[in-house]
Amino acid sequence: MTLSKDWQTLYINVNLATMTDGANSYGEIINGALAISDGKIAWLGKQSDLSAHFSGKNDSRVVDIIDGKGQWITPGLIDCHTHLVYGGNRANEFEMRLQGKSYQEIANAGGGIVSTVSATRKASEEELIASALLRLTALHHQGVTTVEIKSGYGLDTENEIKMLKVAGFLANELPVTIKRTFLGAHALPTEYKDNADAYLDIVCDEMLPRVVSEKLADAVDVFCEGIGFSLEQTKRVFDAAKIYNLPIKVHAEQLSNLGASELAANYDALSSDHIEFLDESGIKAMKKSGMTAVLLPGAFYFLRETQLPPIELLRKYQVPMAVATDANPGTSPIHNIHLMLNMACTLFRLTPSEALAGITCYGAKALGLSESKGQLAVGYDADIALWNIEQPAELCYQFGVNPLSRLIQNGQQVLMNESA
């Protein structure tokens, strides 16, 4: 093979966790090299195979050669489920829960999601950008190059649109790819209490057409739950999303089993998220339609849930498992993807390669990005992270010390940490 075009950057003396083998392995290439051209991965392999393409340090076809000194490269990390844009916080509810109130009791008493709705409605775009930027910066410094952000704390047309626009503006502030999901059906706003159908009329007939015409979302999500929307109501939103060909995601079987994952499978949804109460028939339906299961260990931990997601059955049916922060003020005020890796292993008993797949190749799959992100492969976006670690399992094993030494997004170095 000869070089078809010049390489902008060549990383040598690196080990690669390509994540091209799903959760089965890290897809390791030891003593490897990786080349970038035009923002894409142009070549990767054993360094010993590099000589066929590259004649050494003076090869003028390569602009920049970086000696990785034995560090590991993974795909840039993907947080495929967040609610990063919101006003206020819910530390008061945290205190109430410590005094014995449950998440559902607080929600039913007018707290929970709708209290964040009030704060989000009051906040200006600038205020929302500033607070979300702090959270996004934390993820970015941990090696995250792609983040999904949901609306769902506006719950009226103007404020849902405001949230989605703010989510989009964040991409001008930080070199992170943002995918936006419209979650108008997150909770019933107080002004529509006892009138869910009238609210869903607004979601389907007013909000969604605006979101589509202004190109503000890549997917549609619904919180299908006793304190959210029923199966029948969820179906209405899915039907509306289908009209506009928007991919579907669902908050499903988080607190009870309503069958939302199976319903979503009938709509060829991308993913079903949370799923602590998912059963075997739901898993079979997800497998059949090629859905991804998104595990959210932060919410499991923060709510002190005891029902574990059905990991063994998901493995048995080979449903891909993504892992995400679910960063939000109510159930997962946690903006740490490394901690999610650790929790996925300690709480859910994922293997480290399953957990890493959850925030790389399967995180990409949950966003419909399997063909461009989440793997080290030729032609994929050059979103890559360099880590000062001796083995990939270290990323799951410890957190709090950040071993990220470089972050590259679309071929451009966007972070460098000499001390890592």
Q: Is 112 in the site for ligand NIG (CB under 6 A)?
A: yes
Interface stretch with ligand NIG, choices 110-118, 136-144, 161-169, 196-204 (CB under 6 A)? 110-118
Per CB under 6 A, the list member of 113, 265, 367, 404 interacting with ligand NIG is: 113
354 binds, among ligand NIG, Fe ion, none (CB under 5 to 8 A by kind): none
208 binds, among Fe ion, ligand NIG, none (CB under 5 to 8 A by kind): none
53 binds, among ligand NIG, Fe ion, none (CB under 5 to 8 A by kind): none
Please identify, using beta-carbon distances, which residue of 323 and 384 lies nearer to ligand NIG. 323
Q: Is 299 in the site for ligand NIG (CB under 6 A)?
A: yes
How many C-beta neighbours within 10 Å does residue 54 have? 19
159 binds, among Fe ion, ligand NIG, none (CB under 5 to 8 A by kind): none
113-122 helix and 157-173 helix, angle to the nearest 10 degrees: 70
125-141 helix and 157-173 helix, angle to the nearest 10 degrees: 50
> Tell me, what amino acid is at 297?
P
Residues that bind Fe ion (CB under 5 A): 326
116 binds, among ligand NIG, Fe ion, none (CB under 5 to 8 A by kind): ligand NIG
Q: Is 335 in the site for ligand NIG (CB under 6 A)?
A: no
Q: Is 116 in the site for ligand NIG (CB under 6 A)?
A: yes
Per CB under 6 A, the list member of 162, 251, 338, 406 interacting with ligand NIG is: 251
Please identify, using beta-carbon distances, which residue of 69 and 193 lies nearer to ligand NIG. 193
How many C-beta neighbours within 10 Å does residue 206 have? 14
148 binds, among ligand NIG, Fe ion, none (CB under 5 to 8 A by kind): none
Within 13 Å of residue 175, how many CA atoms lie on the same side as its CB? 15
In angstroms, give the least distance from the CB of 330 to ligand NIG. Answer: 2
Q: Is 254 in the site for ligand NIG (CB under 6 A)?
A: yes
Per CB under 6 A, the list member of 329, 363, 374, 392 interacting with ligand NIG is: 329
Q: Is 330 in the site for ligand NIG (CB under 6 A)?
A: yes
Q: Is 82 in the site for ligand NIG (CB under 6 A)?
A: no
Q: Where does this chain bind ligand NIG (CB under 6 A)? A: 112-113, 116, 223, 251, 254, 299, 326, 328-331
